[in-house]
Structure 1
Amino acid sequence: MILFKQFKFDSAHFLPNVPKGHKCRGLHGHTYQLTLYFEGKIDEKLGWIMDFSEIKRAVDPIIECIDHKLLNEVEGLENPTCELIAIWLWDKIRLKIPQLSRIKLFETPTSGVIFEGE
């Protein structure tokens, strides 16, 4: 079974490696929508795969590192594309919750990435 939990955060960034004149080269912000997926078997006693509150407790401190921040100033996110933000989140969250199987990160309501590890 696959369980999911969603989070939102607001961050600013600029993409320093895109060509001059590209609209994303300038400072701008997004409201990101993050969906985390966890795979596992249902615990027969508890009746769930994982406790949603435990996921929140593990992930909230990671989100706090990037919420209302300039992502370019966060260690490891000097070129904060949606793809690299997803990998950064994966690396941090997977250390705390090994059952993480997929990340879906929306940069806008219609654009984002899905990352399943490498």
Structure 2
Amino acid sequence: MKLIHNFIVKLDIKEFLRFVMVGVLATGINYIVYYTLQRSGVNINISYTAGFVVSFIFNYFASNLFTFKTKPNLKRGLSFGVAHVINFLTQLALLNLFVLIGLSKTLAPLPVYMISVPLNFLFVRYALKRK
């Protein structure tokens, strides 16, 4: 709860907008890779994982250099990685849940992104900016 309170109190609108821009690009990269692979017959979990990995690499550097104006380093990389592993596992569970309840494999990632993006901002901001 304290993390959410601190987020609201210290919200930097420009930083959040940069996060959204990078997130949209990373999400687009993730979806293009996922869509291309799953339409080629690759299992949805493997397709989603491949998309996530490619977008993760882009996202790490863009988040450091553009969004939060920090320098990439090993400590930030590890923290960013942990935040994204938590986010990835949440996304993968949601993806399978949405497919299980009948949403098409093509559209299932879209509500996943809507749920995971705000959560991911909190995790990534904490990972890259904590002292």
Q: If the length of structure 2 is used for normalisation, what is the TM-score?
A: 0.34
In proportion to residue count, which structure has more strand? 1
Q: If the length of structure 1 is used for normalisation, what is the TM-score?
A: 0.37
In proportion to residue count, which structure has more helix? 2
Higher RCO by CA contacts (8 Å cutoff, separation 6 or greater): 1
